[in-house]
Each structure stands twice: as structure tokens, then as C-alpha cells.
Amino acid sequence: MRPMPRIAVNTGIEIEYDTFGDPTHPPLLLVMGFTAQMTLWDERFCQQLADGGRFVIRFDNRDCGLSSKLDGVEVDMAALMAAAFSGAPVGDVPYTLSHMADDAFGLLTAMGIEKAHIMGASMGGMIVQTMAIEHPERVLSMTSVMSTTGEMEYGQADPEVLGVLIAPPPADRQEFIDAAPRYRVFASKKYYDEAEAKTRAARDYDRSYYPEGASRQMAAIAASGSRADGLRALDVPTLVIHGRDDTLIAPSGGLRTAELVPGSVLLFLSDMGHDMPQQLWPVMVSAILTHTAR
């Protein structure tokens, strides 16, 4: 791993990132999901991809981790959720998924990279879909993991799981660590490890606990709408990975993504929830390396 400082990618936005592997190898940009820091891309997972001949780049999205934060910019979450579930226009939001896609391209540009393989998980999958739709000339391939298309008919969360996701944030470090097991409701049932979840929670809290960013990232998702038409027209090699046990973004989200993108490949994993457990890395890494070598 080669730690890097923050780098300016757009007006007022700086992105924290780091890399794994040889910079002369084909670049693979990893985009993480809702409120998740880049450290959720496990270093060992990144290194396995780098060992397979990829130059791996991970980064913190805006409003998360050590990247720029829009402190004090408020979002009316009640109005946002009501509009999103009723199908009404969401209205003005601080930024959209397109802005977050521009951040990712801005990072690549600042690193001197014109084209890259891109992979995103959950909201990160939505971001890489947006990247491929808006600037396919800069995308070598796309991998969309446990994500969806923005269509309300697909990928909807189980109501119990959604309640856990939008529950009030913990007030302090210990409460944050103690709350980690509540996210078990959408994790891979077969591989869940509570001790590991609490260790990860402590690490993430100490690195950057920033619950304020959640409402703005949720607004970006809600305001960006359906990507169905763009995905239908996409001419980018695409791999879709989803888990049968995913209750946060239902399997229909991944199945629909694969259905829409011409020529896409679907990897549907029976024991995978809304996470990427180490036990599934061998099959995932193999699929990603094969896909990015096409």
C-alpha cells in the first residue's frame, strides 16, 4: 500500500485516497457506498487485486472519511424520504450522484489516468453506473456490486433493514461500537462475525465518525433517479455481483442491472448479503480479474 494525501478534484472538493500495486498496471478504481469509508475496501482484498496485476485505487467519497465535508449544509430528511417514496420530485439537493461521479473522474485526472476499470459497491455501484453512462470513453470496464438501477420497482430494502439504516446515529464511540451488531440484519448470514464487526466499528470511528454526511449522500441517491435508459444504451464491459441474501438492496437490483446492460455478466452468490465477507473473496477476485482482463 502507498498512502497518499488529499488531492483537489473539483471546486471545493478534496479527496483522500491510497493505492496498491504497480502504477504501470491497468488502473482499477474502487468506489465505496453510503457513509462507508474507503477502509471498508479491506487492504487484503485490495492487495489480492493488486497481486493479480491491477493498480488499485480506493478513496473516501465526499462527506465521508477524510475527504471534504459540506459542514452545515442541511437536508430535510423527512421531506426527502416522503418525496422519494411517493415518486414526487425531490427538489434541490446539495449534490447528486453525477457530482460524486465527477469527483471520481477528477481523482483519476489528478493522478494522470485517462481511462480506468471502475468498481463500486452499493451506492458506489450507483456512482460507477453514473460514471459509465456519462463518460464511457473514460471507462475500460465496470463492476457493479450489490447495487441497483435507481428504479423504484427494483432493489428495495426490507422495511426492518431500512429502519436500522436510518435510525438515529450513536452519540459516542462506545455506543457506536455497541451498535455495530444491529447491522447484522443485512450482512451475510453464513459468515457474520460480531467481534470483527465491532473491531471495524472502532477503527472507523477513530478514523472519521461523521454522521452528518449521511443525509446529504441519501439526498444524492434520491435526487438522481433512474439510470435505466442510460444502462440500456451502455457499451462498456460490465460485471454485476450480487448476493441472494441481500436485504438492504434486494437481489432484484442486481438482476435488473444485469438485465439492462447489454452483454453484461452476472455473478449471483448464494451466501452473500450486503457485504463482502472474506470467505467469498476468492470467487470475487477471480471474477474481477477475469472481467478486467477482457
**Hey, what amino acid is at 51?**
D
CA separation for the pair 18, 43 (Å, rounded): 10
Is the pTM above the cut of 0.85?
yes
Query: What whole-number percentage of the chain has pLDDT above 70?
Result: 98
Q: pLDDT tens across 147-180, in order?
A: 999 999 999 999 989 889 888 999 999 999 999 9
* CB contact at 8 A, 274 and 243: yes
Q: What is the average pLDDT across 52-80? A: 94
Amino acid at 3: P
How far CA 95 is from CA of 50, 218, 225, in Å, comes to 32, 10, 13
C-alpha grid cell, residue 13: 472538493
Q: Which domains does the chain have, with CATH numbers?
A: 2-158+212-292 (3.40.50.1820)
Q: Is the pLDDT of residue 141 over 90?
A: yes
